[in-house]
């Protein structure tokens, strides 16, 4: 049976401008969470975030193009360029029509929307940027990547909240297996760090208020967890059919074995309390990937650090893995880099692929006292050196959108 493999990796995150620096921070457990400095947060309940520092969009795109594009699109272009370069794909005129772009987001252009609303209220319609609409719509990062690379195959964008990044990879896999494309560029991006989002998530009670200890704030599965930490960035992959990749002598990072999407259909922000359909997404992923629970070496958890999510995710994992649950290691990269929203699922898949490469499972940092309701085989605070042949990434979004993907060694 034809397999889809990953031949290119790209990332820009609060840990650094590429996949290597991102992986280094995750596996070494170096927190990127800091006090918010992008705007005045003094009156907010939550005043910490993981943000990208030192990014120069003009150097990336030139001044004219940088001025017309939103940050989440700029991040997507940066990560896509790295992924294509890593894959060694030469997109010539013949291949260009066979390259797909599947690039998802969650919050999309909230920054441009905030700026436009402020300008409108302060100075009237003439103060609103002419670039506002094309900056903020969720399909723009995918289109910007297609423009940047000069590709003419299918270009899709979807918003599945925090499951967006993983869902993009499954969409790309389907396009390759159906023959719609020969190469697919897929992943997730978001630049949601705005005053309005911080205020809104704070009002929901979703964010950590541990403002005095930013690096210790995100603590998935810990008894003292009090919410997630917002983050930003993009993670992008190049995917190909295995036979095509091997025919051109490509380096293969791993195979996308299968995945599944389910819906809680329960609540707009809270997970279904018993984790039934999150568990079903894990079960279906294993089934469709030809895996037994005992085959999985690491589960890269959604692990946001919110009380309800971590408890429900634990139930889902225990239900899906059954008697084998104590044999699968579990940890969450959000403890280090925060919650990248539309990029979060793609970040988890990046970690899965590199854990397989290095036989090293990254830790959940700040996990000092495991909540009894979250008992699993946690990789706490220090990376675990162990063979990793199969890893599973789960992602659960607002509205009950559950997306799980399994990857394996090449």
pLDDT in tens, 330-357: 999 999 999 999 999 999 999 999 999 9
Q: What is the pTM of this model?
A: 0.96
Whether 178 and 323 map to the same domain: the answer is: no
Whether 335 and 396 map to the same domain: the answer is: yes
Q: Give the chain's residues under pLDDT 70.
A: none
Whether 166 and 306 map to the same domain: the answer is: no
Whether 164 and 27 map to the same domain: the answer is: yes
What is the C-alpha to C-alpha distance for residues 19 and 11, in angstroms, rounded to an integer? 5
Closest-CA residue to 155 (of 174, 140, 166): 140
Burial class (CB within 10 angstroms; exposed 0-12, middle 13-18, buried 19+) of 169: buried
Is-catalytic flag, 162?
yes
Whether 170 and 287 map to the same domain: the answer is: no
Domain presence at residue 404: yes
Domain presence at residue 394: yes
Whether 25 and 132 map to the same domain: the answer is: yes
Domain boundary among 223, 247, 271: 247
| pLDDT recorded at residue 109 | 85
| pLDDT recorded at residue 146 | 98
Closest-CA residue to 142 (of 77, 89, 83): 77
Strands (E), 43-179: 48-49, 99-104, 155-156
Whether 34 and 168 map to the same domain: the answer is: yes
What is the C-alpha to C-alpha distance for residues 52 and 349, in angstroms, rounded to an integer? 20
DSSP secondary structure string for all residues of 171-201:
HHHHHHHHTS-SEEEEEEEE----HHHHHHH
Is-catalytic flag, 302?
yes
Whether 125 and 265 map to the same domain: the answer is: no
Domain presence at residue 391: yes
Whether 229 and 301 map to the same domain: the answer is: no
Whether 157 and 204 map to the same domain: the answer is: yes
Domain presence at residue 335: yes
Q: Which of 162, 218, 300, 403 is catalytic?
A: 162
Strand 401-408 versus strand 254-263 pairing type:
antiparallel
Whether 234 and 277 map to the same domain: the answer is: no
Domain presence at residue 374: yes
Domain boundary among 247, 268, 283: 247
Tell me the residue length of the chain: 410
pLDDT in tens, 6-16: 999 999 999 99
| pLDDT recorded at residue 398 | 86
Boundaries of domain holding 152 = 4-247
| pLDDT recorded at residue 265 | 87
| pLDDT recorded at residue 274 | 86
Q: Taken in order 158, 163, 169, 173, is the CA torsion positive or negative?
A: negative
| pLDDT recorded at residue 6 | 98
Closest-CA residue to 393 (of 157, 187, 181, 105): 187
Closest-CA residue to 313 (of 264, 366, 273, 268): 273
Strand 254-263 versus strand 384-385 pairing type:
unpaired
Q: Which of 102, 339, 374, 403 is catalytic?
A: 339
Domain boundary among 208, 229, 247: 247
Closest-CA residue to 85 (of 20, 9, 18, 140): 9
Domain presence at residue 138: yes
Closest-CA residue to 280 (of 315, 329, 234): 315
Whether 13 and 158 map to the same domain: the answer is: yes
Written as six digits, the tokens of 35 are 């006090």
Q: What is the CATH number of the domain that holds 83?
A: 3.40.47.10
| pLDDT recorded at residue 77 | 98
Is-catalytic flag, 352?
no
Domain presence at residue 252: no
pLDDT in tens, 39-72: 999 999 999 999 999 999 999 999 999 999 999 9
Structural domains counted in the chain: 2
The CA–CA distances, whole Å, from 80 to 137, 174, 237, 307, 381 equal 19, 20, 7, 34, 31
Written as six digits, the tokens of 156 are 């899709």
Q: Which of 300, 302, 352, 378 is catalytic?
A: 302
Domain presence at residue 387: yes
């Amino acid at each position: 049976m034809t397999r889809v493999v990953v031949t290119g990796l790209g990332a820009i995150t609060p840990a650094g401008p590429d996949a290597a620096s991102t992986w280094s921070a995750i596996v070494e457990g170096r927190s990127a969470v800091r006090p918010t400095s992008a705007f005045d947060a003094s009156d907010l309940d939550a005043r910490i975030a993981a943000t990208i520092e030192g990014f120069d969009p003009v150097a990336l795109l030139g001044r004219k193009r940088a001025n017309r594009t939103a940050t989440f699109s700029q991040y997507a272009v940066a990560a896509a360029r790295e992924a294509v370069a890593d894959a060694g794909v030469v997109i010539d005129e013949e291949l260009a029509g066979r390259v797909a772009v599947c690039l998802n987001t969650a919050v999309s252009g909230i920054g441009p929307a905030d700026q436009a609303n402020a300008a409108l209220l302060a100075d009237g319609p003439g103060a609103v940027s002419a670039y506002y609409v094309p900056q903020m719509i969720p399909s723009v990062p995918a289109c910007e990547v297609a423009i940047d690379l000069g590709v003419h195959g299918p270009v899709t964008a979807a918003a599945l909240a925090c499951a967006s990044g993983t869902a993009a990879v499954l969409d790309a896999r389907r396009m390759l297996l159906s023959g719609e494309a020969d190469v697919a560029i897929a992943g997730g991006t978001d630049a949601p760090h705005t005053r309005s989002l911080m205020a809104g998530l704070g009002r929901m009670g979703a964010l950590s208020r541990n403002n005095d200890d930013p690096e210790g704030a995100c603590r998935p599965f810990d008894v003292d967890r009090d919410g997630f930490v917002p983050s930003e960035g993009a993670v992008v992959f190049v995917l190909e059919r295995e036979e095509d990749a091997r025919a051109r002598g490509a380096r293969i990072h791993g195979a996308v074995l299968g995945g599944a999407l389910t819906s809680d259909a329960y609540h707009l922000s809270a997970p279904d309390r018993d984790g039934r359909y999150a568990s079903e997404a894990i079960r279906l992923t294993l089934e469709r990937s030809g895996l037994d629970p005992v085959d999985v070496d690491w589960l890269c958890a959604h692990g946001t650090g919110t009380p309800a999510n971590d408890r429900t995710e634990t139930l889902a994992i225990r239900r899906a893995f059954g008697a084998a649950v104590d044999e699968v290691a579990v940890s969450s990269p959000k403890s280090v880099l925060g919650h990248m929203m539309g990029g979060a699922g793609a970040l988890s898949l990046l970690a899965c692929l590199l854990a397989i490469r290095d036989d090293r499972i990254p830790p959940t940092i700040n996990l000092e006292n495991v909540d009894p309701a979250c008992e699993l085989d946690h990789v706490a605070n220090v990376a675990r050196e162990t063979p990793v042949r199969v890893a599973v990434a789960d992602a659960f979004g607002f509205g009950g959108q559950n997306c799980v993907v399994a990857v394996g060694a090449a």
